Amino acid sequence: MSNGLFDLSADVAVVIGGTGGLGGAMADALAGCGAKVAVVGRSAQRGAVRVEAIQAAGGQALFQSADVLSSDSLAAARDEIQSQFGTVSVLVNAAGGNRPDATLPPGSDFCKLPLDAWRDVFDLNLVGGVLLPSQVFGQSMVEAEQGSIINIASMSGMIPLSRVVAYSAAKAAVINLTQFLSREWATTGVRVNAISPGFFPAEQNRALLYNEDGSLSERGSQIIGHTPMGRFGTAEELGGAVCWLASRAGSSFVTGQNVVVDGGFSSVTI
């Protein structure tokens, strides 16, 4: 286990969306720094795999199911986690995603984008992805006068990328809400920040980045060509940022920030 600035041995961390690839890697990193980690998601099977991996590496973890679009479900999850591990001091909001009918393929008509698809993407990424978990777990943090909330935004929330219009708009709202909450809770001991990953191949975007034969798609090639480091990121490369923002010793004066982990993608303007 680590110590010093990245020592989280006194913390209980909740990773909502910890059953996914990026959320799971962040759960691993937090546990590696000593935190007790609650992996929250819908799939008990995937949650058990993540918990077993953390425990096998010497960490402490449990799985808790919850519906991120239900305050009652989240409150029940919070109470169960705190009964087993103690007061939650770190919340990582890593739930999110897109849906095909909320994207705009080349030549499609923006005016025909289905409203229900737009709403679903906003509900998943903004309402369930940040708003409700921050209300439920943030209440406990404010009462305890300490805590770190880390929202997972996206490069597309900073730059309105083509095709993923609803997702981009929702993630832009995540960054805005992060800044609002950081100001709202600045004197309570609760810090609120965001991480905007660049391009990390995962289940949700792999078909956009790669062809069926494993070669880069046209879009994947364009992204690599725009990234100074010349590659995609790996999930483990988010670990340092999340542990730093979780740590009171390491980032006690950091709030309202959007930490970009993108291999330099956002630094290229031409």
Catalytic residues: 167
- Single-letter amino acid code for the residue at 192: V
Residue 209: closest CA among 190, 187, 226: 226
Question: Rg for the chain (alpha carbons), in Å?
Answer: 18
Asked if residue 75 lies in contact with residue 134, where contact means CB atoms within 8 angstroms, the answer is: no
Q: How many Cβ atoms from other residues are within 10 Å of residue 190's Cβ?
A: 27
Q: How far, in Å, are 38, 39, 69, 79 from residue 51 at the CA level? A: 8, 7, 23, 19
CA distance 188 to 198: 31
Q: Can you read off the two tokens belonging to residue 61? A: 């973890």
CA distance 84 to 191: 24
Taking the alpha carbons of 153, 154, 159, 165 in that order, is the dihedral positive or negative?
negative
Asked if residue 44 lies in contact with residue 38, where contact means CB atoms within 8 angstroms, the answer is: no
CA distance 248 to 246: 7
CA distance 239 to 110: 37
